[in-house]
Amino acid sequence: MMSEQHAHTTESQADGETIINPVRAIVAGHGAFATGVISAVEQITGRGHVFLPISNTGLCLDDIQQTLAHALDETGARVIFTDLPAGSCTMAVRRLVRSRPGVVLVTGINLSLLLDFSMQDDTDPVAAASGALERGRASMVLHGG
């Protein structure tokens, strides 16, 4: 489900004041994946507010697609991150991207990728996603064995 905060923006607190932040990307996935990974971004950088979380829990494919389309319309975001290449959110976004030039999908994401993206406020979101993709890939390393 889409989060209950105002759909165009997210809110954060600084010095006791509420700050309205534009959503720069949507994170969609299974169960609590999106809220979980965004909470990790928030814990590490305090910048979880640049993301809007969406879960596929309890939704059929058509409802997932409608929820994502609504989120894109409401936020104006042009970047969607999903968790799994074969996941239902990914399949729904692929359909949406077909009719929405300029919207990009990055699938198979991890925390390093989102952290990198979240720190690039001054970069166009699509370009930021492309750069963050490399950071996310590079972060996966096998140690020991």
Partner 1 sequence: MPIALYRIDDRLIHGQVVVGWGQPLNLRFIVLVDDEVAESEWEQELYRMGVPPDMSVYFHDVPSAAAALPDYQQDPRPGVVLAGDIGTMARLVDAAGGSIRAVNVGGVHHSPGRTPRLRYVFLTGAEEQALRAIAARGVDVTAQDVPGARPVGLDELLATTLDV
How far CA 81 is from CA of 21, 32, 33, 47, 100, in Å, comes to: 19, 14, 11, 16, 15
* 42 or 63: CB nearest partner 1: 63
Tell me how far, at minimum, the Cβ of 5 lies from partner 1, in Å: 23
Interacting positions 47-106 with partner 1 (CB under 8 A): 58-61, 63-64, 84-88, 90-91, 94-95, 98
Where is 27: in which H helix or E strand? strand 25-29
DSSP class of residue 59 equals: -
How many beta carbons lie within 10 A of that of residue 27, not counting itself? 28
Quote the least distance from Cβ 88 to partner 1, whole Å. Answer: 4
How many residues touch partner 1 under the rule CB under 8 A: the total is 17
Interacting residues toward partner 1 by CB under 8 A: 30, 58-61, 63-64, 84-88, 90-91, 94-95, 98
